[in-house]
């Protein structure tokens, strides 16, 4: 394969991977950052890093975990730089509240707000399990936790959401 | 589901189903417990709504400007740590003489038999011998591999250290040394946990394109080596906070 073919082949491979996993990357970033603008910036940075280190991805089957790990690291870098650690739900910026505002109905909006308020230790495994389709074992591997800890966090996350939903219905 | 669940009580069943709504174990308990049947229905219904809530709209993909491969190859992020470093001429001569002597007397030098001018030299030589550790990757090692490389009888390591992408059980001076790699801003950062190598104070050192530090930790030490441009201070602090010797 000559140099030009290698370059276009590399670019094709990258585009294919990104086309499949871009939505996952964004949603993962959005729920970890809880801010649409930050999530977009993080995904841009993550794509750049993924492109630079594409050759390290040996197995296409591992692409999703590889990309999400890059996103995770980018988020850590972002917050290390910016020191934005807490979010006051009653005092959100426009791009933070935009995440909540787009829910199609009030019930979903309330639930989204409850997820938004979950501690990140609970929110992250929930996102990975529910919309990324990760097993608890895969979550444990990605987050560097024991599987039992992941199960506990997921259990607590759902109980908390269940209680919040019940409270909303009562009120 | 792999967990055996036939003897579950309500609490155990609810923990299991709320951790994994697809959980299909605990059938014996479930068939006899109407409350848990209701709980399962509620959790599964909730999960459908959680999924809808999590599926936020995704903006159109904006691909960043991607540098060409030559630029990538020269960029900081993908340049691995230099796998070669400079020995001074006398050290080369000493090494050559040692090898020649070994060849003459017909023995193969074991690692711990090689003499080095200092622990720093030994650490750099060790790092040179494991080029596989220099791979830039975002894939963490598995828990089981990490547990093998850092067995509980040597050290306890908490996860604040960061994502570990390489873990191998090595040896220095005949003692086991967990060899770890995390990904830094400027490439891989090598960490050697040396519970049997005592140093009285932090010692910095440099090789070709790399620099490092050996930190005293209890009765042992930890070596941290990264690209010369890498800021090791943050890693250093994390390691000091994260490692506890078991002995």
Are both B116 and B219 inside the same structural domain? Answer: yes
Are both B140 and B103 inside the same structural domain? Answer: yes
Q: Does B19 touch chain A (CB under 8 A)?
A: yes
Whole-angstrom Cα distance, residue A67 to residue A47?
8
**Residues in CB range of A56: below 8 A, 6 or more apart:** B135, B136, B137, B138, B139
Q: Boundaries of CATH 1.10.1740.10 in chain A?
A: 1-87
Q: Does A127 touch chain B (CB under 8 A)?
A: yes
| pLDDT given for residue B79 in this prediction | 37
Q: pLDDT tens digits for A132-170?
A: 999 999 999 888 889 999 999 999 999 999 998 887 666
Mean residue pLDDT across chain A: 86
Does A30 have pLDDT greater than 80?
A: yes
Q: Does A128 touch chain B (CB under 8 A)?
A: no
Whole-angstrom Cα distance, residue B46 to residue B64?
37
Q: Give the gap in angstroms from C-alpha B112 to the nearest C-alpha of chain A.
A: 33
CATH of domain A1-87: 1.10.1740.10
Which domain does B28 fall in, by range? 10-54
Are both B116 and B211 inside the same structural domain? Answer: yes
The CA radius of gyration of chain B, in Å to the nearest whole number, is 26
**Contact A158/B19, CB-based, under 8 Å?**
yes
Q: pLDDT tens digits for B120-165?
A: 888 888 887 766 666 666 677 877 788 888 888 888 887 667 778 8
The pTM score is 0.57
Give the C-alpha distances (Å, rounded to integers) separating A2 from A47, A57, B22, B66, B220: 25, 21, 49, 20, 52
Contacts A–B by Cβ distance under 8 A: 138
Q: Does B76 touch chain A (CB under 8 A)?
A: no
Give the one of B67, B135, B140 whose C-beta lies nearest to A141's C-beta: B140
Give the one of B42, B54, B64 whose C-beta lies nearest to A47's C-beta: B64
- B209: alpha, beta or left, given left = phi > 0 and alpha = psi -120 to 50? left
- Number of structural domains (chain B) is 2
- Domain A103-171 annotated CATH 3.80.10.10: no
At B243, give phi and psi (nearest 5°): -105, 130
| pLDDT given for residue A146 in this prediction | 92
Q: pLDDT tens digits for B200-237?
A: 888 888 887 789 999 988 888 999 998 888 888 888 88
Minimum CA–CA partner of B142 in chain A: A141
Q: Give the gap in angstroms from C-alpha A155 to the nearest C-alpha of chain B.
A: 4
Is B149 domain-assigned? yes
| pLDDT given for residue B1 in this prediction | 43
Q: Boundaries of CATH 1.10.10.10 in chain A?
A: 103-171
Please, what sign has the CA dihedral across residues A144, B213, B192, B241? negative
Q: What is this model's ipTM? A: 0.88
* Percentage above 70 pLDDT, chain A: 86
């Amino acid at each position: 394969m000559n140099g030009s073919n290698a370059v276009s082949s590399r670019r094709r491979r990258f585009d294919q991977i990104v086309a499949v996993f871009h939505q996952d990357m964004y949603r993962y970033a959005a729920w970890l950052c809880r801010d649409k603008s930050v999530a977009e910036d993080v995904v841009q940075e993550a794509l750049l890093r993924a492109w630079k280190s594409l050759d390290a991805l040996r197995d296409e089957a591992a692409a999703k975990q590889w990309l999400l790990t890059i996103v995770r690291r980018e988020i850590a870098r972002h917050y290390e730089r910016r020191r934005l650690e807490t979010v006051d739900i009653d005092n959100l910026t426009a791009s933070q509240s935009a995440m909540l505002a787009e829910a199609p109905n009030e019930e979903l909006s309330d639930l989204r707000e409850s997820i938004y308020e979950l501690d990140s230790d609970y929110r992250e495994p929930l996102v990975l399990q529910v919309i990324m389709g990760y097993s608890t074992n895969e979550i444990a591997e990605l987050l560097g936790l024991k599987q039992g800890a992941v199960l506990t966090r997921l259990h607590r996350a759902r109980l908390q959401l269940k209680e919040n939903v019940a409270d909303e219905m009562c009120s | 589901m792999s967990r055996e669940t036939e003897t579950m009580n309500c609490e155990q069943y609810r923990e299991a189903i709320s951790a994994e709504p697809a959980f299909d174990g605990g059938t014996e308990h479930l068939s006899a417990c109407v409350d848990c049947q209701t709980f399962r229905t509620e959790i599964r219904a909730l999960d459908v709504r959680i999924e809808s809530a999590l599926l936020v709209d995704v903006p159109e993909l904006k691909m960043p400007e991607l540098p060409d491969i030559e630029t990538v190859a020269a960029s900081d992020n993908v340049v691995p740590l230099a796998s070669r470093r400079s020995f001074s001429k006398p050290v080369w001569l000493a090494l050559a003489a040692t090898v020649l002597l070994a060849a003459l007397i017909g023995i193969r030098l074991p690692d711990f038999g090689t003499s080095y001018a200092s622990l720093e030299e030994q650490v750099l030589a060790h790092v040179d011998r494991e080029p596989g550790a220099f791979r830039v990757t975002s894939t963490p090692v598995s828990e089981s591999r990490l547990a093998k490389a850092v067995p509980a009888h040597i050290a306890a390591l908490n996860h604040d250290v960061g994502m570990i992408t390489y873990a191998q059980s090595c040896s220095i001076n005949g003692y086991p040394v967990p060899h770890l790699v995390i990904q830094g801003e400027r490439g891989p950062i090598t960490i050697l946990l040396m519970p049997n190598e005592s140093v009285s104070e932090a010692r910095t050192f440099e090789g070709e394109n790399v620099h490092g530090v050996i930190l005293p930790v209890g009765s042992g030490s930890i070596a941290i080596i990264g690209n010369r441009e890498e800021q090791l201070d943050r890693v250093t602090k994390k390691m000091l906070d994260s490692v506890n010797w078991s002995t």
